[in-house]
Amino acid sequence: MTEPAKLFTKIQYTQTKKKSKGRRYSLSEKLLALSLYKRSPRSYKLLSTYFTLPSKKSLKILLSRISIKCGINRMVFDELKNTVANLSTEERLCTLIFDSMAILPQIQYNAQRDDLIGYECYGDQKKNKIADHTLVFMVKGVKANFKQPVAYYFTHAMKTIQLKEIVKDVITNIQNTGLEIISTVCDQSMLNVSTINSLVQETKADFLRKGKEWKKQMFIINRKEILPLYDVPHSIKGKMRKMKVKLAALILSHSFAVAAEHMSSKGDASSECKNIVSFVLMMDKIFDSLNSLTFAIPNGEIIKGQ
C-alpha cells in the first residue's frame, strides 16, 4: 500500500466515528486532502459524501496561511530546485509559458497582511497605479508530465522593456533551479510580439558584434538558446480579436472540408465552396502537427504525434 493510501485509510479509521466538529486532522492529512481538492473540486465534493475528509473551509484556511507574493518568490523556486534535483537530464527540459489577462481594476484590503492590494506590483516594487492586468508565468515539462506556476505580476499599461526584463529575470531564476528552458510560448498580442522581437534582435546584434553567423530565430539568456513560439490555438484565429479559437478550429478542420466537398458535389453549395477544401485540409494538418500532445501516434493520425 502506498503512503497516500495508508494516510487516507488512517483518516477513515481514526476520524469517522467522531462528530464532524470534533475531528482533527494532521498537516500531512490536510495536504493529502488539498491535493485531491485541487485536482477536482467537484470530485472532492463527491468523495466527501462517501468518505471522511477535511471540509473545504479547513482547506481554504490552510491555503490562506501560505503567503505567496507577486514577482519572484524564493519559497517557490527553492522548493522547485529541491524537486528538480531528482530529475534526469531529459526530464529537466521544459517550456516557459506566459500569459496576461485583463482584470477589473479595484482596491481591496487584505486583513491578514494588513495591506491594500490591487495596485501595480512588480515583486517588492509597488506603484501608485491601479492594476488592470495580471501576468502569469508557468513551466511545463517537455518529456516529463509536469506543470508549475512560478511567478505572477499585477500590471498597468506595461511597456516592452518592462516585460522583457521580467521575462529575462524569470528565465534566469528558473535556470538556477536546474530546469532547462528550451522554448517560450505566448499569444500574439502586440506587447508579446514586440518583447520577443526585442529579445531576438538583442541576441542577433550580439552575434554580429562577435562576427558569428546568424541563422536561427532564437534568443540566448545565460548562454542557453531558447526558441520563441506562439500559442497555436490562438495563432489559428489570426488577428481577428472577436473570433473564438474553438470556432476557428471548427471551420479549419477535416470534417468541415469533407462536408464542403460533399455539399458542393451534390449541388447543395456553390462550386466556389469546393475551391477552399484543399486550403482547409492544409490548415487542419498544420494545426494538428503544431498542437500535438503526445509522442505516440493517436488512432493512426501520424501528424498528431510529435
Q: 59 lies in which domain range?
A: 3-64
Q: Are residues 42 and 106 in the same domain?
A: no
More confident residue, 239 or 109: 109
Which grid cell sits at 170?
A: 524569470
Residue 284 falls within a domain, yes or no? yes
More confident residue, 67 or 83: 83
Identify the burial level of 266 via C-beta atoms within 10 angstroms of its C-beta, where 0-12 means exposed, 13-18 middle and 19 or more buried: exposed
Q: Are residues 97 and 201 in the same domain?
A: yes
Q: Are residues 93 and 226 in the same domain?
A: yes
pLDDT of residue 255: 82
Q: Are residues 205 and 86 in the same domain?
A: yes
Q: Per residue in 80-113, pLDDT tens?
A: 999 899 899 999 999 999 999 888 888 888 777 7
Name, in order, each residue with C-beta under 8 angstroms of 153's C-beta and a sequence gap of 6 or more.
70, 71, 121, 122, 123, 134, 135, 166
Q: Are residues 216 and 98 in the same domain?
A: yes
Domains in the chain, number: 3
pLDDT of residue 63: 82
pLDDT of residue 19: 87
Q: Are residues 218 and 93 in the same domain?
A: yes
Q: Are residues 59 and 110 in the same domain?
A: no
Q: Are residues 219 and 77 in the same domain?
A: yes
Residue 115 falls within a domain, yes or no? yes
- DSSP H helices, 155-253, are 160-175, 190-209, 232-235, 245-251
pLDDT bucket at 264, cuts 50 / 70 / 90 = confident
- Please tell me the distance from the alpha carbon of residue 106 to that of residue 125, in angstroms, as a whole number: 18
Q: Per residue in 6-45, pLDDT tens?
A: 999 999 999 988 888 889 999 899 999 999 998 889 999 9
Q: Are residues 154 and 117 in the same domain?
A: yes
Q: Are residues 86 and 129 in the same domain?
A: yes
Q: Which one-letter amino acid corresponds to residue 224?
A: K
Residue 238 falls within a domain, yes or no? no
Q: Residue 242 pLDDT > 60, yes or no?
A: no
More confident residue, 67 or 72: 72
180, 200, 230 - which closes a domain: 230
Q: Are residues 60 and 76 in the same domain?
A: no
pLDDT of residue 79: 87
- Give the DSSP H or E segment for 257: helix 254-266
**Helices 27-39 and 41-50: crossing angle, nearest 10°?**
120
Residue 124 falls within a domain, yes or no? yes
pLDDT of residue 201: 94
Residue 201 falls within a domain, yes or no? yes
Q: Are residues 78 and 184 in the same domain?
A: yes
36, 64, 92 - which closes a domain: 64
pLDDT of residue 123: 66
More confident residue, 246 or 132: 132
pLDDT of residue 75: 84
Task: Taking residues 43-62, report their average pLDDT.
Answer: 91
Residue 237 falls within a domain, yes or no? no
pLDDT of residue 291: 66
- Give the DSSP H or E segment for 151: strand 147-155
- Please tell me the distance from the alpha carbon of residue 292 to that of residue 303, in angstroms, as a whole number: 8
Q: Per residue in 286-302, pLDDT tens?
A: 777 766 666 566 565 65
As a whole-number percent, the residues of the chain with pLDDT over 70 amount to 89
More confident residue, 231 or 294: 231
Q: Residue 48 pLDDT > 60, yes or no?
A: yes
Mean pLDDT of the chain: 85
Residue 119 falls within a domain, yes or no? yes
pLDDT bucket at 224, cuts 50 / 70 / 90 = very high
Residue 39 falls within a domain, yes or no? yes
- Please tell me the distance from the alpha carbon of residue 258 to that of residue 267, in angstroms, as a whole number: 14
230, 263, 292 - which closes a domain: 230
Q: Per residue in 139-180, pLDDT tens?
A: 999 888 888 999 999 998 889 999 999 999 999 999 999 999
